Structures are given as C-alpha cells and as structure tokens.
Amino acid sequence: MPITVTKRTVLSWLAVLMTLALLLSGCGTNFGTTDDGKQRYRWKMTVTTGSTSTWYLAAEKFAKDLEDETDGRITMKVFGNERLSAGEATAGVEQLMDGAKDFSYNSPIIYSGVDPRFGAVTAPFIFDSVEDGQKALAGEGGKVYAKYLSERGVHLLGFGESGMRQLTNTHRPIHTPDDLHGLKFRIPGFGLYTDLYRTLGANPTTMPFGEVFTALQQGAIDGQENPLDVIYSSNLQEVQPYLTMWDYSYDPLVLGINQKLYDSLDQEDQKLVSRLAADANKFQIKSNRDGAEKIIGELKDSGMEINKLSDSEKDAFRSDLKPLYKKYRAVWGKDMSDAFIPEGL
C-alpha cells in the first residue's frame, strides 16, 4: 500500500528537523566575553502571531531593551508565526522546554498540549473581565503556574495578555447554545475546548492556525475562535461576516525563558532579564487593551456584524457546560482548580 504524505506530516517532520538543528546550535549561545569579563549572548525568541500583533511588538521591545541596556552584549532575535517550529505552536513550547530556543510568548492553551493542567485559567466563563483574570494570576494562581512550568523546564517571567477569546462565523450572530448547532469551528488542539464545543452542539476541528484563513475562505469550516488582536492581525474579517463578543475564555500569555538558561545566568543578568520582561509584559497588556476598542471599530468598518452577549445569555452557556467543570477539576488537579474555578461550578 503506498504511503500518503500529508501536509501535516510534512510540517511535523519540519518541526522535528528544526528542533534538532536548534539543539545542535545550543541554548542561550554565548559569544565570548566583554573586556570586563561579562558573558555575551545571542538569544532566540518566538511568538505565535505575526509582526503586527501586540505579542510581537512586546517581544521586539524586550529584545531592544536587552541590547540597549547591555550595549550589545546581549542580543535577541524575535521570530513570528512560530517560524522555529514550522508553525506548530506545541512543538515550539517543547523547544523552549528542551532548550532548543531561549524565550517565547505562548498561551496556556498551547502549554496544555504538553500538560493539561495548564488549561485551568482558560476554563469557560469563569472571569467577567481581563482585569479579573490578571488578578487571579497575580495571586496563588501565578505561583502554581510558576511551579508547574519550572517542573517542565521553563522559568516564568510573568504574564502578558491575549485577552478574552471571541467567536467568528460565516452564517449568523450567536446568542444561545442552539445557535452553534451544526456549525464547524476551528479550535486549538485542546481537550477542554473540544468537549466544550461538542457539548454545545457544534462540530470542533483542529488545524494549524496558518491554514485557517484559507479554510474559512473556501468554506471548509464555518468559523473559529480567538482574541480580538489575533482576529484582526490575521485579517479574518475578510472572510468572516459575524463576530460574537462572548468573552468565554480568558487567555493570558506566558513569557517564559528556558529554565537551564535562566539558572546559568549570573545574578545581575537574572535581575536584568526579569525587570525587562516585566516591562515588556506591562507594555503588551496596555497595548492590547488600548487597541481593543480601535480594533472593534475597524472590524465594524470592514462590514463585520458584531453582537455582545448579555449576562443572562452567558448564564445559559454556563448552565449547559456545568458538567465540564466537574470533569476537568480532576484533570487540572486541586491546586489549579482552587486557584481559578469558582465554588459552585
């Protein structure tokens, strides 16, 4: 029987080959020392989105600040669209864990592909605002994330913010669970989202994000879900007439550095990296929030019809999804569940 080579297979092998090449080149590659004995570094960082996104712009700020404050002793090259892992975000997170690259901005959704506990903060309808989500991460939730990330070879440098995840589709505004019935949505490869959409009567499917625009354009799928910045920076308004602002899932960003690289830095460089990372996160969050209203306006101007769910409409979704919270408490574990999931859900 002949072997069929699919596009996904090719992308997977490209990601493997890229990882091997990066491992051979080493993590946090140093380039000798300065006259006063300080180590020189040339680092790599990836983000999932393209060069117009707030993720990328914050990563570029981080890189520039590192270079400026060290007079070029430390430089960092930023790669958009997960270029170091052939567009495969989960493979990109694994590269960070393994030391094949140095830094990344990634959603906990992507980390959950390696360890499902990381998906707790993105559970449906548990936060009413991005401020509520960041407050939870600033407390015990952030400590739990730092612990679990360290176990996986990543040192947490704080959180950025992709925002609340919204829904677009080709057919109609979404107001009730019944409105989702029969529609095919591209979702991330995330067990919780798969169960969520099936529970609501939709047909979830996964594919690399780079294929989504064409799939929507050709009618292979009916819709997708993402934060506003991703929807806008990917031009999905060109192929999606309806946007539903349902704020169903809070999506922060993990700014991580390979743990072994962080541990190898002297104390002064550790403090420098931590301080500039905090500045980058603050810049990214502010840019993302400040740009939200502008994005909504431009999406409306492009012809998109936008509807926002009321609290009572959200409650109808929560009611239908209630069995999922009980199921996934066992998946997330006690620490994550206690940090993020309200009592009664």
CATH topology of domain 9-337: D-Maltodextrin-Binding Protein; domain 2 (3.40.190)
More confident residue, 25 or 100: 100
The b/e string for 150-175 (b: 16+ C-beta within 10 A; e otherwise) is: eebbbbbbbbbbbbbbbbbbeeeebe
Percentage of the chain modeled with pLDDT above 90: 82
Residue 189 is classified by DSSP as S
Residue pLDDT, tens place only, 8-31: 555 555 555 554 444 444 455 557
Residue pLDDT, tens place only, 67-77: 999 999 999 99
What predicted TM-score, i.e. pTM, was given to this entire model? 0.86
Residue pLDDT, tens place only, 241-259: 999 999 999 999 999 999 9
User: Whose CA is closest to 44, among 18, 12, 14?
Assistant: 18
Which sequence spans correspond to the domains of the chain?
A: 9-337
* β partners of residue 103: 45, 257
DSSP-derived 3-state class of residue 27:
coil
pLDDT of residue 32: 86
**Residue 209: pLDDT band by 50, 70, 90 thresholds?**
confident
**Residue 79: pLDDT band by 50, 70, 90 thresholds?**
very high
Residue pLDDT, tens place only, 110-159: 999 999 999 999 999 999 999 999 999 999 999 999 999 999 999 999 99
Residue pLDDT, tens place only, 272-321: 999 999 999 999 999 999 999 999 999 999 999 999 999 999 999 999 99
Q: How far apart are CA 332 and CA 116, in angstroms?
A: 7
State mean pLDDT over 40-56: 94
Question: Rounded to 5 degrees, what angle do the CA atoms 228, 78, 11 make?
Answer: 75
Beta carbons within 10 angstroms of residue 23's beta carbon: 14
Q: How far apart are CA 344 and CA 322, in angstroms?
A: 9
pLDDT of residue 82: 92
Q: Which residues contact 249 (CB under 8 A, 6 or more apart)?
A: 122, 123, 124, 125, 164, 165, 193, 225
